[in-house]
Each structure stands twice: as C-alpha cells, then as structure tokens.
C-alpha cells in the first residue's frame, strides 16, 4: 500500500527541504521505494539530491502540473533516478515562479 507524506509550511527556513531529503533517504535505507516531488521554485530539494535545476528545463514539475495537457511543452512526468536505488525525484526549477 502506498503512503503519501507531505511536508508543508508557508514560512521559509523551517527545515522542509532537509526533512523531506532525510525522510526519503531513510525510507530507502529501510528498503522502501520513495518518490520525492520538489514544489519549490528555488529547486532546493532538487539541488539537495544532486541535480542542477537550471539543467532540467523541460523535465520539471512545471511541465506536468502547470501547463495544460494540450500545450506543446506539456510532458508526462518522468521521475529522475537518484544515486541510491529506490529513490526518484520529480524536480522543480524557477519556471514555477
């Protein structure tokens, strides 16, 4: 059975990114699969997991969530595998701003 864990807070600097990254790594270390979704226009989780948001244009949550399905740039989201097996990321970048 799949579970969804959301970490949200309107205030910045409260540890959302660090919490998500550490929970994701720990779930994978315990043998679970985990999909992390970055919804921050600064791409903080994307950076934390080893990706450069500026190099991911056209592969982020923006293309799948914000653009309407009939838009030419709309894409079906393909999670990026992170170096540790079992962890994948749907990245974000400044396009969300």
pLDDT band per the 50, 70, 90 thresholds, residue 69: confident
Domain spans in the chain, listed from the N-terminal domain onward: 16-96
> Are 60 and 53 in contact, with CB atoms under 8 Å apart?
yes
User: Does pLDDT of 20 surpass 80?
Assistant: yes
End-to-end CA distance of the chain: 34
In terms of Cα–Cα distance, which of 40, 71, 52 is closest to 80? 52
Q: What would the pLDDT profile of 30-65 be if each residue is shown by its tens digit?
A: 999 999 999 999 999 999 999 999 998 888 998 888
pTM: 0.86
Strand residue runs (E) in 10-90 = 34-37, 80-81, 87-90
Task: Give the CB-side neighbour count of residue 56, counting CA atoms within 13 A.
Answer: 28
pLDDT band per the 50, 70, 90 thresholds, residue 81: confident
User: Does pLDDT of 2 surpass 90?
Assistant: no
């Amino acid at each position: 059975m799949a579970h969804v864990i959301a970490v949200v807070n309107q205030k910045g600097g409260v540890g959302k990114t660090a919490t998500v990254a550490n929970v994701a790594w720990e779930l994978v270390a315990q043998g679970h699969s985990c999909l992390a979704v970055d919804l921050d226009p600064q791409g903080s989780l994307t950076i934390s997991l080893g990706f450069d948001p500026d190099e991911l244009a056209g592969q982020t949550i923006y293309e799948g969530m914000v653009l309407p399905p009939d838009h030419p740039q709309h894409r079906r989201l393909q999670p990026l595998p992170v170096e540790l097996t079992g962890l994948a990321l749907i990245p974000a970048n400044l396009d969300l701003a």
